[in-house]
Amino acid sequence: MSLLLKLPPPPRIVLASASPRRRELFALLGLPFEIIPSSYDEPTSPNKAVVLSEFVTHLATEKAREVAQHEPDAWVIGADTEVAMDVVGTPLGKPRDTEDACRMMAALAGRRHLVCTGVALFRPSSMNLPPLSIAVSTWVKFRALTPEMIADYVATGEPMDKAGAYGAQGYAAPFIESFEGDFFNVVGLPLCALGQLLETAGLPWSAYRSHSEKPPSTA
């Protein structure tokens, strides 16, 4: 008898994010899940250096906590991604306007920067267990960019809802000279680390994987 037949029905899993990129990536785990965006009032990015991994883990935990309070029977997952120039640095946040987006892109051009995603997991309240969290970092190197290239990219509108003012899976892809670490982490959800977090929490996610549908495209 296979492990799948021995398992109870899959638990209720909630992704506490409105990000379409995270929704597409999470679907690659093959688990049934719901989307309930967190209404946590995220603070503005600090104007001082922080330990980026601690910062994103805190925000991910608060996002997940807000949803978990209303969904006590669910496994709730929250995430937050930030960009900074170093492990301890000032988070760039999302651009306020096109001028700010151009400023961020100019700061990244020709340099290496850090993308860090925090992921938090709240288990059902009946389990009476504390939340778990992880942070994953990826180094990204941009090629040199001219002011015209930056202006053309910002004019696409793509940078406006993204930390660091760019999307690695979008029109900014030709700007990326190299990266060290998990590419999916740059997009917004480190899938390998997330799978390991679920396993640590006692959820054998791969045993619940659905084989009836092809995985969605993340293009």
Q: Is 182 a catalytic residue?
A: no
**13 touches 74 (CB < 8 A):** yes
Annotated catalytic residue, options 80, 97, 100, 152: 80
Written as one letter, the residue type at 95 is: P
DSSP assignment of 47-71 equals SS-EEHHHHHHHHHHHHHHHHHTT-
Buried b (16+ CB within 10 A) or exposed e, 104-136: bbebbbeeebbbbbbbbbbbbeeeeeebebbbb
Put the strands of the sheet holding 13-15 in their side by side order. 34-35, 13-15, 75-84, 112-122, 132-142, 176-180
Calculate the dihedral angle through the C-alpha atoms of 102, 103, 107, 113, rounding to the nearest 10 degrees: -80
- Residue 196's φ and ψ, nearest 5 degrees, are -65, -35
CA distance 36 to 126: 20
Q: Catalytic residue numbers? A: 80
